[in-house]
Amino acid sequence: MEITKVYPLDAVFDNPEDVPEDIKTNKRYAGSSNWTVQEVAETVKQDFGSIDILVHSLANGPEVTKPLLETSRKGYLAAISASSGSSISLTYIASERIIPGYGGGMSSAKAALESDTRVLAFEAGRKHKVRDNTISAGLLRSRAAKAIGFIDTMIDYSLANSPLQKELSAEEVGNTAAFLASPLASAITGALIDVDNGLNAMGVGVDSPIFKDLNIPKAK
């Protein structure tokens, strides 16, 4: 894969009018321009024309290590505002199950993203014939995942309990996105595709000591 161009983007701000003065003068933004959502969209259209495929994997949870009860309003709204909406997006099973440590409003943001996927599938499908789907990816050793603090333990849990008993790769998630973006998925929209070696299908953790005498099969 060849990256043609990288555009700076702050997804918290829709247009220049939304940007507070203290942000505009912040040294992180000094000397840069055209980094709001509207400006980036206009710049991309000028450079490449209409977009055929959009893959969204952006999220931001500044208080992700905090339980929801201890998350500030500011942290919660930051997670919600930067984590919703696209043509192919990435979500996580914490949207519908309790995952301790995945806090700061991120579970709420993922639930909102999945709801928006279904609504946009209808609205964008009727208006523009655009498909909208989301991928619920399993556990990966990514930089973002390390923010949770115990990603290695969670991956060990997945290895012990998923039907396929293997570590998930970023390529496998990418292959699913490529499929959803291709004509092979032309009739698929509003869907949530689990890519987690089947962990989502499990009702209990089979590595629990209470199952030690059941001779549960393991991958060879």
Domain 52-211 architecture: 3-Layer(aba) Sandwich (3.40)
Query: For the residues 118-127, what does the mean pLDDT come to?
Result: 90
Q: Which two tokens stand for residue 152?
A: 């290695």
Query: For the residues 199-204, what does the mean pLDDT come to?
Result: 87
Q: How far apart are CA 218 and CA 189, in angstroms?
A: 35
Q: Which two tokens stand for residue 76?
A: 């919660």
Predicted local distance difference test score (pLDDT) of residue 132: 92
60, pLDDT greater than 60: yes
Of the residues 7, 29, 76, 92, only one is catalytic, namely 92
Task: Name the band, by pLDDT with cuts 50, 70 and 90, for residue 111.
Answer: confident
Predicted local distance difference test score (pLDDT) of residue 8: 84
Task: Name the band, by pLDDT with cuts 50, 70 and 90, for residue 84.
Answer: very low
List, as one string, the DSSP characters of 165-213. Answer: -S---HHHHHHHHHHHHSGGGTT--S-EEEESTTGGG-SS-TTSGGGTT
Contact 200, 194 (CB under 8 A): yes
Q: What percent of the chain has pLDDT over 90?
A: 25
Mean pLDDT of the chain: 81
Query: For the residues 178-189, what does the mean pLDDT come to?
Result: 91
Q: Which residue has the tokens 């499929």?
A: 179
Q: Which two tokens stand for residue 74?
A: 């500011």
pTM summary value: 0.67
Predicted local distance difference test score (pLDDT) of residue 174: 92
Predicted local distance difference test score (pLDDT) of residue 83: 46
Q: State residue 38 phi and psi, 5-degree precision.
A: -60, -45
Of the residues 7, 29, 76, 102, only one is catalytic, namely 102
Would you call 102 a catalytic residue per the annotation? yes
Q: Which two tokens stand for residue 15?
A: 């247009």
Would you call 92 a catalytic residue per the annotation? yes
Tell me where in the chain the CATH 3.40.50.720 domain(s) lie: 52-211
